[in-house]
Amino acid sequence: MAFDARLQRDIMGRFATGVTVVTTRYKNGDITGMTANAVMSLSLDPPLVVVSVDKSATMHSALSDGQCYAINILTREQEHLSNRFATPGPKDFSDLKWRDGKTGAPILDGTLGYLDCKLVNILPAGDHDMFVGEIIDGELGAGEPLLFYGGQYRSIAEE
């Protein structure tokens, strides 16, 4: 019998992560993004990262079409962006400060850092696919991280 999905979510929810908004530029130059914490550094040589995306997410077809993405790592003050980009459907960038990355994927202002990637592989993984990106560009930002733990946003405790 398959392992219980609720229990898998609950146990993996004990694995504290940061929160990112993965953005892309796809057909006709449209842009979109999705909140993601299933993000991982995969290889240093060549420099690869991976993002796991639900096959039912709008982002899935946008990424396949766009062939590029940027991983924008959110600060504690950017919880509203996490909520915005975790809402299904078209994403509104009109009130946000952002710029084009080298790949054309949107780079959000004021993050802890970003990685701008060219899509190099899509690996099947059950009801998700793993989008492997080669890092083309990136920059460090500053601030405190937004964390996700036990299904809730958290901050690093002050000493």
Ligand X SMILES: Cc1cc2nc3c(=O)[nH]c(=O)nc-3n(C[C@H](O)[C@H](O)[C@H](O)COP(=O)(O)O)c2cc1C
H or E segment to which residue 148 belongs: strand 147-149
Task: Name which position in 18, 52, 65, 145 contacts ligand X (CB under 6 A).
Answer: 52
Amino acid at 66: G
Stretch of residues binding ligand X (CB under 6 A), selected from 28-36, 66-74, 101-109, 132-140? 28-36
Stretch of residues binding ligand X (CB under 6 A), selected from 4-12, 81-89, 94-102, 114-122? 81-89
Residue 34 touching ligand X (CB under 6 A): yes
Stretch of residues binding ligand X (CB under 6 A), selected from 40-48, 51-59, 73-81, 119-127? 51-59
- Residue spans of beta strands (DSSP E) within 11-151: 17-18, 20-25, 31-36, 39-43, 48-54, 68-73, 98-100, 106-108, 113-125, 128-140, 147-149
Task: Name which position in 87, 121, 144, 149 contacts ligand X (CB under 6 A).
Answer: 87
